[in-house]
Amino acid sequence: MTEGDHTRLVAWAHELRAVHARLREALELVRSAADGGADPPSARDLLVYCRGFCTALTRHHEGEDRHLFPAVAEEHPQLADTLATLTQDHSMMSYLITGLESALQREAPPDEVHTHLEGLGAIMESHFRFEERALLEVLTTLDLVADPDEVLGPL
């Protein structure tokens, strides 16, 4: 294996960590906007912040489901149960995103919006930690030639 090949392979583990970090930051921006302090954002502004975060999270999970997980399953069939759990988490987060967006569209009270954000944030964090524990080592040797934006979302 050449140094260039090794760098390309290790890049998937680095990319996954980097995308997770950016999604965590995006969630914090939405939480900060929802808190609003003395100058709370309008419901429309908060919906815009949420849509950006929710779209990024959704595209990240769609890319994993479509590209990353099949590549991992092909090279590591023993991880089938782990990949099924991660895919199930994606479905759960999609459901929570729909609830959050619905609450924002109907201008739900701030405490309800916070409940949605905290629920989504808790599942997201648990999912990211599990995914990183289960897959980072595997990703250092994954032979997947693809655009990182397609595989992990455009973050």
Residue 110: its pLDDT value, please?
A: 83
- φ, ψ dihedrals at 137, nearest 5°: -65, -40
pLDDT one digit per residue (tens) for the chain, 155 residues: 444 544 454 478 999 999 999 999 999 988 888 877 556 666 677 778 888 999 999 999 999 999 999 999 999 999 999 999 999 999 999 999 999 999 988 888 888 989 999 999 999 999 999 999 999 999 988 888 888 888 888 87
Alpha carbon 96 to its chain's center? 13
Instruction: Please give the structure tokens belonging to residue 140.
Output: 């250092």
